[in-house]
Structure 1
Amino acid sequence: MSTAAVVTGKHAGSLRGARLPKWAPLAIAAVSIALGLGISAAAGLHSKIQWALIAALLHVVGTYGIAARVEGRRQAKDRVATSLVWVAFLLAVVPLASLVWSTVRRGVKVLDLYFLTHSMGVVADSEPGGGIYHAIIGSLEQIGLATLIGAPIGVLTAIYLVEYGRGRLAKSVTFFVDVMTGIPSIVAGLFILSIMLMLDLQPFGFAGSLALAILMMPVVVRSTEEMLKLVPNELREASLALGVPKWRTILKVVLPTSIGGITTGIMLAVARIAGETAPVLLLVFGNPFINNNPFEGAQASLPLYIYQQYSQSAGSPHAFNRAWAASLTLIAFVMILNLAARGIARWKAPKTGR
């Protein structure tokens, strides 16, 4: 063995410098939480948010101080950045977990088979009993019709912008898509309501679907557009070089390659409109009875049902419990949609064989 190799092996450990043990971040976090609780108790702070913020600040400061002393300032900055990422992650996850826990804890009180298979009918909001069957039917029909309208238009618009869009028309379409992305849901409802007033139409489920489709289309356009841009141009060029027409290249090469992302984007758009209340309140009006026809008569929906029950919850614990049970059902509905989207995306994704 050469002298250089011996020297390199002898001093390899010293060149790396001192390192904190793997359990150090957890220890610093535990001490920060304990100090945050102690400072909050001494200062008389009763809010969990306050002591959590104090603990997060102590964790970041403590991480930098200890890491700078042991590992140096450069490594300390890296550890502080990692700590900030974890703090931001917890700030996002903790409220979400708290929301889900509160909804499950309060919603399971009346959520059973009877609740899912019966409507309110002649049951008053202050009385026990009743269910959300009529609201489930209304939501499924309204969201389904909105998806049938909004998803194809959104996907075709995105295909035009990515594959064909040039000049002023493409710029105008992009501008209006950006504008539609930010419009409040109540504006879409008022737009459809103005058309209904001109035609002297009464509230019905399909009117709500039209407003929801307006809200859905820009989300589908943006997500589909980004997925289509991720398809390598080499695939398009190879297909065109073989003499395949452009429309067939899009249909057989581009769309199958990006179908997973497109499906996920559509499901996100569905989740976006599933909880909209304002357009439904304006256009569908609500109905305690079962209405299977979205093209005639007022119809219920889950967001509207939740709003109506919660507005009556001050004088009735039964309405309060029904509102939370319907909220839990709506969350489960959105979760099932997302799981279905992931399954479809994996099923339709391009297969790589040997």
Structure 2
Amino acid sequence: MSSYRFRIFKSKIISIILTLVALASTVPFLLVIYFIVKNGISVINWEFITHLPKPVGEPGGGILNALVGTVILILIALTLSVPFGISVGIYLAEKSESRVSFFARLITEILQGVPSIVVGIIAYLWVVKPMGHFSALSGGIALGIMMLPVIIKSTEEILKLIPREIKEASLALGVPYYKTILKVLLPAGLSGILSGILAGTARIAGETAPLLFTAFGNPFLNFNILKPVSAMPLLIFNYAISPYEDWWTKAWGASCILVLFVLTLNVITRLISSRR
């Protein structure tokens, strides 16, 4: 009886210790969020979001060019990576034992571990040098390359979870193979694929290194994807290393917006994954 009580006591002690460790691991994250929001929330207002930056020394101004540039870069990255990533994920799920799948899976895992600055250099050599100038297109390609592993893995894993009976039933009814993929398997795994796309978007939203070699930055509002554009991470980087206090303040405000955006994407991804 005493040994039984001792085991229960030991189990409760271990549970308490694990709970405290889990709570302690969130403290640095909460402190970072608090510090960013504390310094940046006071800067955010309507003018800050809807106006372009003003020259040094003039009060006011905003980050509209960076907001628009970030949206353009993300849209380009999604356009390039989502169809290709989903297609590769489908192939890996359907032909998981083939030699091509083995090498494709290996390359995906390697690509997932490549540093972002290396991806930026690759995009510079592949796109910027042949074009002869920086552009939003080159930045979107770099970010799209970074999104690919997340989309491929999420698509493959979710399609593997779908029971084979669903696919076999569709084929048994005479539905062509490609229609079975497009109208049966993909709709069944839509929530998982969507969560992978959102997770990939959250990953690239705060990347700075690839954009230094590709998008480069632009103080003006630009919608032409063949010309340089600004982005939130680029603006934060340039403002943070500047000697002007007003730019430091704007960097805090931009950081606050970017962090809240990434947090929102992660929360949506978790909600979709939990409902899946």
| Pair in the same fold by TM > 0.5 | yes
Alpha-carbon separation, structure 1, partners of 2:27 and 2:258:
20
Alpha-carbon separation, structure 1, partners of 2:203 and 2:102:
26
Conserved? CA contact 1:114–1:131, under 8 Å: yes
Q: Against the structure 1 CA distance between its residues 197 and 334, is the aligned structure 2 distance closer, same or farther, given a 3 Å change threshold?
A: closer
Query: What per-residue deviation string (whole Å, max 9, x for no partner) do you get for residues 53-90 of structure 1?
Result: xxxxxxxxxxxxxxx8xx73321332233223312321
Counterpart in the other structure of 1:311: 241
Counterpart in the other structure of 1:10: none
Amino acid at match of 2:63: I
Amino acid at match of 1:87: L
User: Which of these residues, 78, 89, 108, is aligned with residue 177 of structure 1?
Assistant: 108
Counterpart in the other structure of 2:226: 295
Q: Against the structure 1 CA distance between its residues 224 and 91, is the aligned structure 2 distance closer, same or farther, given a 3 Å change threshold?
A: farther
The higher-RCO structure (CA 8 Å, 6+ apart) is 2
Counterpart in the other structure of 2:51: 118
Structure label with greater radius of gyration: 1
Q: Against the structure 1 CA distance between its residues 229 and 129, is the aligned structure 2 distance closer, same or farther, given a 3 Å change threshold?
A: same
Counterpart in the other structure of 2:143: 212
Alpha-carbon separation, structure 1, partners of 2:176 and 2:113:
37
Q: Against the structure 1 CA distance between its residues 76 and 241, is the aligned structure 2 distance closer, same or farther, given a 3 Å change threshold?
A: farther
Using the TM superposition, give the Cα deviation of residue 216 of structure 1 relative to its aligned residue in structure 2, in angstroms: 0.5
Alpha-carbon separation, structure 1, partners of 2:6 and 2:172:
56
Size of the alignment, in residue pairs?
276
Amino acid at match of 1:310: A
Q: Against the structure 1 CA distance between its residues 201 and 265, is the aligned structure 2 distance closer, same or farther, given a 3 Å change threshold?
A: same
Counterpart in the other structure of 1:269: 200
User: Which of these residues, 183, 207, 210, is aligned with residue 279 of structure 1?
Assistant: 210
Using the TM superposition, give the Cα deviation of residue 307 of structure 1 relative to its aligned residue in structure 2, in angstroms: 0.5
Alpha-carbon separation, structure 1, partners of 2:152 and 2:10:
40
Query: What per-residue deviation string (whole Å, max 9, x for no partner) do you get for residues 262-296 of structure 1?
Result: 10111000000000000111111111111121222
Counterpart in the other structure of 1:329: 257
Amino acid at match of 2:156: E
Amino acid at match of 2:38: R
Amino acid at match of 1:134: N
**Aligned sequence identity (%):** 37
What's the TM-score, normalizing by structure 1? Answer: 0.72
Conserved? CA contact 1:259–1:345, under 8 Å: no
Superposition RMSD in Å: 2.3
**Structure 1: gaps spanning 5 or more residues:** 1-16, 19-67, 350-354
**Structure 2: gaps spanning 5 or more residues:** none
Amino acid at match of 1:305: L
Using the TM superposition, give the Cα deviation of residue 238 of structure 1 relative to its aligned residue in structure 2, in angstroms: 2.4
Amino acid at match of 2:260: A
Alpha-carbon separation, structure 2, partners of 1:183 and 1:344:
28
Using the TM superposition, give the Cα deviation of residue 136 of structure 1 relative to its aligned residue in structure 2, in angstroms: 0.2
Counterpart in the other structure of 2:14: 81
